[in-house]
Structure 1
């Protein structure tokens, strides 16, 4: 049907009216009637109005036109409280993981891996399980002159062993065995790293090995006298020890008697108290008032390590960056390890120490026959050869320990 010429039945408009409805332009071409003549198309015809003119194409226009847009788009619901909480937790976990990864990478680059165990000669054969040699040295590195005076460390240069612990882990459990620094042992043949002069094997105190040939000669001496292969070496100096204790906020310790020692500066009362770094260092170094001398000191050192491990493993320390980061920084500043010891091995070492000091393992000393053995080098500690040999054999084969002197 022609919209403009054909008329349906009953339409009373005449041709004249239709002609008058036509408008002739200057070019003689008819134009469409004004839009007001017809606002909607007949059935089956396209709408002359552009999309959205009647509010169909845009929700805001539809609302202004009074047309509901419920059929075309539903309003986006607000997230529920539970969903918002879940999102927040996910963001926090991601931030925590990123922070941990960053701290891990930073700490790994801080390790001083200066000890090369792979070049040592005459090593003990590998046994079952893993052995860590943990050494506390009297290195003054990182201490100012005032610190040395306050801590009564003296002014000696270099470093010597102040404590030695052999930690064994395996399927039979974990054993922490103290090696008294005054143990009378045989130092294997060595070459003086400063002069190049060669020395044959000779009896001496265990801590002399460290002063004569550093960590490498100490490892060889421990292996020669125990038959145990040392897999990993870790050493921390005075400054690192003090820094770690202070970083965790001090360590709680209960004493059954007062501890007074002018040489180390220890001045502690009987009872339970919190030791800061300086007090803790004085406690683990003192031995002159100990009835068992060096053996008594090793017992104090293990007792303190148990308390330190317990404090460092608490959520208040591990999950608090204000404590965990300074603790790691203080420990890494003076930590010396072997080339094969990285953060995974240090974490395994820490977990093993925490386990044994919390009652999940054994703490003992090397069996001793004479704690005041007279030697050309002064009073020393002589091991009980038969019982010590049995103990070392059980550790080498990773068997349950039946020998040893309990703490």
Structure 2
């Protein structure tokens, strides 16, 4: 496998942004690139599955040895993968993109910054359960080990440039200088994500700018639907309202746009999740991936130009796990957000997040039924002497009209220590309600607090003490969805409706 190099950036710390700056023409917005990573992994899986070419296919892929063997491993053998969209003007082998390619991609001019503009953590369970993708907004204001608090998308660049300066003093130069400093950048990013989420990253996948363009062209685009027409000169997005098929430059513009959207980067994340879901569905189609076909060949070429993986990744084992998710067991969520307009000392306007709430959320999502993560607290009931009472069993009924929501909420509550009860559907309703047995109001209030919403808590004569029923209404928003586009989306990976839901 080939090692990776990138053209030398200017040796200066990443430039802090100013508060709500007017972006220059052709401002680079690269959020959609991480889809190529996820899609490329799926292609690797499908290639190995259909044509048994895994060895020859992985020959030529670029690698980065950035995964530490230390840290606690999930008891269930699950795998946590960090998917990264890099703000890079090279292919995976370090070859600079041509002026013609950059113009085609509406990439504009490089400004010396090295940012990871899209971050998605994927947990692949080992027991056939649901795979979960968790989006981390690129402007999240977090603690970067050894660098203090900054936007998470600068973690890679800060560490890379610091390492580059040290290596230059040691006489390291040329390709070796970039390869070694790139490793420091990726390691810093992984450490930052692990600190924020409480998860242990097992594998790392990084993608460059060009691959997304090539892959969407190769598969014939993805169908999307917009609530309203949009026109944005910064990303190049210019689309009518309604359903449409997007590929190449248009697909890039769709997943890049954040200016002119009601919730900025949060709406962009919703677009990314919808587009990723559609790409995953299409790329695993047996009709599309015919062994020896021109389409499969184009996909393989695009992946080799666009993807960097850690060398310890057993692609064939991963293939066996992933092929079980084609029935719809993939969902996408976003970490809880405090504000989308946090004023910072040096980094301009950022996305505010609460690390304790993020770890609690991630623990509940990726380890249903497990204990809350270290440092996180979850609400509970108390006895008259002040000691903690056992948490109740919680039944969850879905009256929201969103498929799969009862199971998702039950998993999150189980992750906070509540005992999972039954799940099912209820008559459609507008408001979410939490019901408890007579004399057991504290149990109902504990569940309502865990759901992090202003929900009614009512007595139900049909319930016995220690049992609570949650009936979800259309008003219910999962943690991490609260600032998402309206209408809110519950994404279920490959189990999509034939026509995609409309979004902002």
Which TM-score band (shorter chain)? 0.5 to 0.7
Does 1:164 pair with 2:119?
A: yes
Aligned partners of 1:271 and 1:290: how far apart in 2?
Answer: 16
Unaligned runs of 5+ in 2: 1-46, 92-96, 160-184, 370-410, 414-477, 482-488, 490-504
Question: Following TM superposition, by how much is the alpha carbon of 1:98 offset from its aligned partner in structure 2, in angstroms?
Answer: 12
What is the aligned partner in structure 2 of residue 340 from structure 1? 312
Write the mapping of 1:286-301 to structure 2, written as runs, cut at 5 A: 286-301=257-272
Write the mapping of 1:25-104 to structure 2, written as runs, cut at 5 A: 100-101=51-52, 103-104=53-54
Question: Following TM superposition, by how much is the alpha carbon of 1:167 offset from its aligned partner in structure 2, in angstroms?
Answer: 0.9
Question: Following TM superposition, by how much is the alpha carbon of 1:395 offset from its aligned partner in structure 2, in angstroms?
Answer: 4.6
Question: Following TM superposition, by how much is the alpha carbon of 1:363 offset from its aligned partner in structure 2, in angstroms?
Answer: 1.7
What is the aligned partner in structure 1 of residue 252 from structure 2? 281
| TM-score, scaled relative to structure 1 | 0.66
Work out whether residues 196 and 358 of structure 2, in 8 Å CA contact, stay in contact via their aligned partners in 1. no
What is the aligned partner in structure 2 of residue 220 from structure 1? 191
Of the three residues 145, 152, 162, the one matched with 1:206 is 152
Question: Following TM superposition, by how much is the alpha carbon of 1:359 offset from its aligned partner in structure 2, in angstroms?
Answer: 4.3
Measured against aligned partners, the alpha-carbon deviations of 1:264-317 in whole angstroms (never above 9, x if no partner) come to 111112121111211111111110112211111111111110111112122221
What is the aligned partner in structure 2 of residue 126 from structure 1? 73
Secondary structure at 2:349 match in 1: strand
Work out whether residues 223 and 230 of structure 1, in 8 Å CA contact, stay in contact via their aligned partners in 2. yes
- Flag the 1:168–1:336 CA change in 2: closer, same or farther, 3 A: same
Work out whether residues 240 and 333 of structure 1, in 8 Å CA contact, stay in contact via their aligned partners in 2. yes
- Flag the 1:126–1:144 CA change in 2: closer, same or farther, 3 A: same
Larger Rg: 1
Aligned partners of 2:353 and 2:50: how far apart in 1?
Answer: 48
Aligned partners of 2:321 and 2:269: how far apart in 1?
Answer: 19
Of the three residues 103, 106, 111, the one matched with 1:149 is 103
Does 1:405 pair with 2:480?
A: yes
What is the aligned partner in structure 2 of residue 135 from structure 1? 84
Aligned partners of 1:385 and 1:105: how far apart in 2?
Answer: 41
Secondary structure at 2:258 match in 1: coil
Secondary structure at 1:182 match in 2: coil
Report the structure, 1 or 2, having the larger helix content: 1
Question: Following TM superposition, by how much is the alpha carbon of 1:378 offset from its aligned partner in structure 2, in angstroms?
Answer: 0.9
- Flag the 1:174–1:396 CA change in 2: closer, same or farther, 3 A: closer
Work out whether residues 66 and 186 of structure 2, in 8 Å CA contact, stay in contact via their aligned partners in 1. no
Question: Following TM superposition, by how much is the alpha carbon of 1:396 offset from its aligned partner in structure 2, in angstroms?
Answer: 5.9
Question: Following TM superposition, by how much is the alpha carbon of 1:160 offset from its aligned partner in structure 2, in angstroms?
Answer: 2.3
What is the aligned partner in structure 2 of residue 56 from structure 1? none
What is the aligned partner in structure 1 of residue 64 from structure 2? 114
Does 1:330 pair with 2:302?
A: yes
Write the mapping of 1:238-249 to structure 2, written as runs, cut at 5 A: 238-249=209-220
Does 1:174 pair with 2:131?
A: yes
Work out whether residues 165 and 176 of structure 1, in 8 Å CA contact, stay in contact via their aligned partners in 2. yes
Aligned partners of 2:230 and 2:299: how far apart in 1?
Answer: 27
Aligned partners of 1:342 and 1:216: how far apart in 2?
Answer: 20
Question: Following TM superposition, by how much is the alpha carbon of 1:347 offset from its aligned partner in structure 2, in angstroms?
Answer: 3.4
What is the aligned partner in structure 1 of residue 474 from structure 2? none
- Flag the 1:109–1:318 CA change in 2: closer, same or farther, 3 A: same
- Flag the 1:288–1:111 CA change in 2: closer, same or farther, 3 A: same
Question: Following TM superposition, by how much is the alpha carbon of 1:386 offset from its aligned partner in structure 2, in angstroms?
Answer: 4.7
- Flag the 1:97–1:250 CA change in 2: closer, same or farther, 3 A: closer
| TM-score, scaled relative to structure 2 | 0.54
Measured against aligned partners, the alpha-carbon deviations of 1:366-391 in whole angstroms (never above 9, x if no partner) come to 01111111112011111244532321
Question: Following TM superposition, by how much is the alpha carbon of 1:220 offset from its aligned partner in structure 2, in angstroms?
Answer: 0.6
Secondary structure at 1:154 match in 2: coil
Question: Following TM superposition, by how much is the alpha carbon of 1:360 offset from its aligned partner in structure 2, in angstroms?
Answer: 2.4
Work out whether residues 124 and 224 of structure 1, in 8 Å CA contact, stay in contact via their aligned partners in 2. no
Work out whether residues 257 and 268 of structure 2, in 8 Å CA contact, stay in contact via their aligned partners in 1. yes
Work out whether residues 108 and 342 of structure 1, in 8 Å CA contact, stay in contact via their aligned partners in 2. no
Work out whether residues 114 and 154 of structure 2, in 8 Å CA contact, stay in contact via their aligned partners in 1. no
Secondary structure at 1:315 match in 2: coil
Aligned partners of 1:350 and 1:372: how far apart in 2?
Answer: 37
What is the aligned partner in structure 2 of residue 183 from structure 1? 140
What is the aligned partner in structure 2 of residue 263 from structure 1? 234
Secondary structure at 2:200 match in 1: coil
- Flag the 1:242–1:180 CA change in 2: closer, same or farther, 3 A: same
Aligned partners of 1:98 and 1:125: how far apart in 2?
Answer: 31
Measured against aligned partners, the alpha-carbon deviations of 1:229-282 in whole angstroms (never above 9, x if no partner) come to 001111111111111111112222222222221111111121211112111111
Question: Following TM superposition, by how much is the alpha carbon of 1:147 offset from its aligned partner in structure 2, in angstroms?
Answer: 1.8
Aligned partners of 1:223 and 1:169: how far apart in 2?
Answer: 16
Work out whether residues 133 and 165 of structure 1, in 8 Å CA contact, stay in contact via their aligned partners in 2. yes
Aligned-pair RMSD on alpha carbons?
2.6
Write the mapping of 1:379-394 to structure 2, written as runs, cut at 5 A: 379-394=349-364
What is the aligned partner in structure 1 of residue 201 from structure 2? 230
Secondary structure at 1:117 match in 2: coil
- Flag the 1:346–1:211 CA change in 2: closer, same or farther, 3 A: farther
Work out whether residues 123 and 366 of structure 2, in 8 Å CA contact, stay in contact via their aligned partners in 1. no
